[in-house]
Each structure stands twice: as C-alpha cells, then as structure tokens.
Structure 1
C-alpha cells in the first residue's frame, strides 16, 4: 500500500511538470492519481483533494484560454494570429513526429504555435514586425497560463499529501 502511495505521488509530480510543459497531462493526471488512491483507500480520505483537483482542472483550462487570449489581445493579435497558433501547434506536433520521433512533438509544441501565429498575422497584416509582436503576445500569454496551472497543480498535490500522508503508512 505504501509503494502504491509513493508511485501515485511520483505520477502527481509528472502531473505538476505537465501543468507547465505542453503535451504532458497536468492536473488531469493528478486527479486520476487521487482517484486511484480513493478507489484503493476509500474516497473519504481523498474527498477534499479530489474536489480541489477537479475544480482546479476546470479553472486551469479556463486560465489557459484566458491568459492566451489576453496576451494575444494586448499584443494586438488578430483572429488570424490566434488561428495560426492553433494550426501551428497541430502541425508542429504531427509534422515533426516522423522527422524526430523522440523530441519532435515536444519541439513542435514549442515552435509550432510561434511560427503559426507569425504566419497567420503576416497573412492578415502583411507586416512581419507586427506579426512577430502578436506571436510573442500569444506565446507570453500561454506561458503565463502554464505557470498559473503549475501553481494550481502544486497546491493540489500539497493538499493531497497534507490530507493523506498521516494515513498512508
């Protein structure tokens, strides 16, 4: 039972990393680990931490979209830049997968949205300087959203440890 506990905590640490790094599950992975512990040990022991994980998962999704939108808006990005960032994300993940099967998708997740936003803005405005500025706003907004999700993930794991650690042994 103790080995399972620490295995789930390790999975939650991966979830914390995933909350900040794209392409790795974040708070959803933490919620699944808490759910598994609840299945094994009884849901009364994880009620608070599971509720927090679910709420923070929903809040994190909202924060991610709002932070990216706010960053794009502050930098003057158009819908073309935002659409370009999403298309760049998809193309980055899928396009670099065959070329670089190990690091390709992660590299694509990092580079794809930037290039996509620049291309989208350039198509709309025909000004590379404005396109780069808009792309930067989208990326900065997205990074801020990821950092907030990271804090939410850390709090979720902290609450889980605080409420379950005494009874885990």
Structure 2
C-alpha cells in the first residue's frame, strides 16, 4: 500500500513540474527527473529507464524549443541584435536581483521582466537614427515579440513535459501492482 501512495505523490510532484514548464521561474525539470529517480530507487531502475531517457530528451528539446520560439518572436518583429543582447543581460539582471527592488515578487518578477526591459533598452539604444516616437514603437514591438515567443515556447514545453509524465505513467503503471 505504501508504494501506491508514493506513486501518486510522485505523479503530483511531476504535475508541479509540468506547471513549472508553463510558468517561467518555477523549476520543472528537477521535479520530473527527481520523481522518476525516486521511483527508480524504490522499484529498480529497469522500470524507469524508458521514462528517464524520454524525459531527458524532452527536457533538451523543450529548452531548445523555448529558446527558438523566443528568438523567432523577436526576429519576426524585426529586432536588432542589440535587443537580443539586452534581453540576455536583462535576464541575468533579473535572476541575480540587479533590477530595482520591487515590493513583491522579487527574483521571479525580475526573471519575467528582466528580458523584456533589457530588450526594450537594447532596441531603443540601437535605433538612434529614428525619431523618439518611432524608437518607442519599435522597442515596444520587440517586447511584444519576446512575450509572444516566450508564451509559445512555454506552451510547447508544457506539452512536451506532460508527454514525459504520461510516458512515465504508461511504462510504470504495471510495476505498481507488483
């Protein structure tokens, strides 16, 4: 009976990981891989070999998809390399809390807003040849491209991680009754 309870707790932990794939700033991979490893220690790693390999492949794919979707969103808008560099700098500034302190959210808000603010600043600085209103409009378009690309990437990442959890359930379900 103890294995049954553990199994469902691990499934719940994996579902938190799926939510983490959708919501930026929340860990996803560590929850899913960790739950698979725990089940491997309990039931033997022969039971979790396929789900573990599928999950690792999914995590690599989802990271690539997320980066490509954001890149595609920015390129579709016509952003410069300065906005991409600004986005990366903004991400690190948000992660390490180098953005101005916010009364709520802390690093999570920094991770969400950092790339957007960085891309805006980068694009705004690059487009010196445009008048102020055109610079602002183009910089805002770049921000929208980042948000749309990130959302698409997160949705695809969520679908992939959900597939990893479903694979785990399909492969390990028979081992639950033994």
- Alpha-carbon distance in 2 for matches of 1:35, 1:61: 21
- Aligned residue number for residue 158 of structure 1: 166
- Alpha-carbon distance in 1 for matches of 2:56, 2:93: 30
- Aligned residue number for residue 137 of structure 1: 145
**What are structure 2's unaligned runs of at least 5 residues?**
129-134
What's the secondary structure of 2:24's corresponding residue?
Answer: coil
Which residue among 155, 167, 175 is the counterpart of 1:167? 175
Hey, which of these two has a bigger chunk of helix by percent? 1
Matched, 1:111 2:119: no
The alpha-carbon distance between structure 1 residues 97 and 26, as it changes in their structure 2 partners (threshold 3 A), is farther
Matched, 1:128 2:133: no
Matched, 1:30 2:32: yes
What is the CA distance between 1:109 and its match in structure 2?
A: 1.9
- Aligned residue number for residue 42 of structure 1: 44
Which residue among 149, 153, 157 is the counterpart of 1:149? 157
- Alpha-carbon distance in 1 for matches of 2:116, 2:102: 19
Q: Provide Cα deviations, 1:77-101, integer angstroms capped at 9, x if missing partner.
A: 111111111222222231469644x
- Alpha-carbon distance in 1 for matches of 2:30, 2:55: 8
Aligned length, in residue pairs? 168
What is the CA distance between 1:111 and its match in structure 2?
A: 1.8
What's the secondary structure of 2:15's corresponding residue?
Answer: helix
- Alpha-carbon distance in 2 for matches of 1:2, 1:89: 41
Larger Rg: 2
**What are structure 1's unaligned runs of at least 5 residues?**
none
- Alpha-carbon distance in 1 for matches of 2:157, 2:149: 12
- Alpha-carbon distance in 2 for matches of 1:143, 1:91: 21
- Alpha-carbon distance in 1 for matches of 2:105, 2:99: 8
